[in-house]
Amino acid sequence: MSATTTLSAAAASATTGHAQWSSRMGFILAATGSAVGLGNIWKFPYMVGQSGGAAFVLVYLACISLIGVPILVSEWMIGRRGQKNPVNTMAQLARAHGHHRNWALVGAIGVLGAFLILSFYSVIGGWALAYMGDAASGSFSGLDKAAIGAAFDNFLARPGDLLTWHTVFMLLTVGVVAMGVSAGLERGSKLMMPALGLILVVLVGYGATTGSFGEAAAYMFNPDWSKLDGKVVMAALGHAFFTLSLGMGIMMAYGSYLGEDVNLLRAARTVVVMDTGFALCAGMAIFPIVFANGLDPAAGPGLVFVTLPLAFGSMSGGLVLGTLFFLLLTFAALTSSISLLEPVVELLEERTPLNRIGATVVAGTTIWALGIAALLSFNLWADVKLAGLNIFDLLDHVTSKFMLPVAGLGAIVFAAWKLEQRSVQRELGLGVGGFRLWTLLARYVAPLGVLFVFWNNL
């Protein structure tokens, strides 16, 4: 990942020559900016709805803490030691410890995953942009659930509109990465992220006035274990990776700019608490509206876009709040999408004669074109299916359920089994007991958890 574009006011380290975060805060902000995005506000609630509620939520929380956190820390640790892009970092660390150079595949799968994810991520980023315009023009005011649902269905039925907004979102992403102004964007997130959080809290408050708050809370936190099956567990695990931006080399790249003084466990706690907080708030904002209006929790990817507009259309100040919400959602999506584009661009820059701008344009155009196939899944190509999945779902499933877990598994196995463990203990600043717990998680619980889920699904 190009240092100039991803560091908030980066300064080259005197000893390594590799750029470093100017502050612990800059690092945490960038990592949180990548983690918090559409995954929290758009994807998490509809996955909860499709998977039947609390059983999914609890498995997801277990996956985040038992598998996600150790992998997040492992990716940072590997990045900080390798000080290079994910592919070279893995190759070099493997060589230095006398292991096979195929470990570099862990980084390579990540870059391919980022490429695929961004194609459909940008389509949804486009929806957020489109809805910002709708909210600002007062299109939601006074509409009932049928009208809002119909408006969304009509929107999906117009490939031209989806293409326009997907294109605008992709141009924004490409522009930010090509011009190397990510640092500015990240500084902006100091203001925008808390603002988005605040609006979510207001929406949770609104949910409390709908009369269905208790029902929503029970739906999200009181599990009906009969809803649990292999598919739900797989979905929960995949989403834990997606939401924390794991298995994509991104956190590894962020770790490579990290100074020795940053405590990885504490940093992970901050990022994970924020990420999970956003997701749970989104759920508690959306489900009261779902139940109060008799909507279908399993409506799928459109869930956020048919519930929140209903609230914005009927609350006082809904016009301003709705516009702001979709603006900030777009912003959160952008801080994640730039983190997805960066590794692809960087790889092209290093492996081809292209310069930064050229690499960004080539990567952006290819991803944009793949995105068109994804957006056609909602209309013209709705019946184009492979293994029962349309192209949009296929891209989502292949990345979240296979590529990210495999790459994440590679990272943690490497960190826990292939690195010299005394130095790991020192790096994590753990005493004997703490390190035992870490070893248990990183060597056994997390890798076996991932393998178990895979095996269960085969």
- Contacting residues toward ligand PFF, per CB under 6 A: 34-35, 37-40, 114, 117, 242-243, 245, 248, 250, 336, 339-340
CB of 60 to ligand PFF, least distance (A): 12
Is the Cβ of residue 70 or residue 125 nearer to ligand PFF in the bound state? 125
CB of 86 to ligand PFF, least distance (A): 11
CB of 404 to ligand PFF, least distance (A): 7
CB of 132 to ligand PFF, least distance (A): 17
Is the Cβ of residue 342 or residue 349 nearer to ligand PFF in the bound state? 342
CB of 332 to ligand PFF, least distance (A): 7
CB of 442 to ligand PFF, least distance (A): 21
Is the Cβ of residue 256 or residue 339 nearer to ligand PFF in the bound state? 339
CB of 295 closer than 8 Å to CB of 307: yes
Is the Cβ of residue 173 or residue 243 nearer to ligand PFF in the bound state? 243
Is the Cβ of residue 252 or residue 319 nearer to ligand PFF in the bound state? 252
Is the Cβ of residue 140 or residue 242 nearer to ligand PFF in the bound state? 242
CB of 349 to ligand PFF, least distance (A): 18
Is the Cβ of residue 118 or residue 373 nearer to ligand PFF in the bound state? 118
Q: Measured at CB, which residue is nearest to ligand PFF?
A: 39
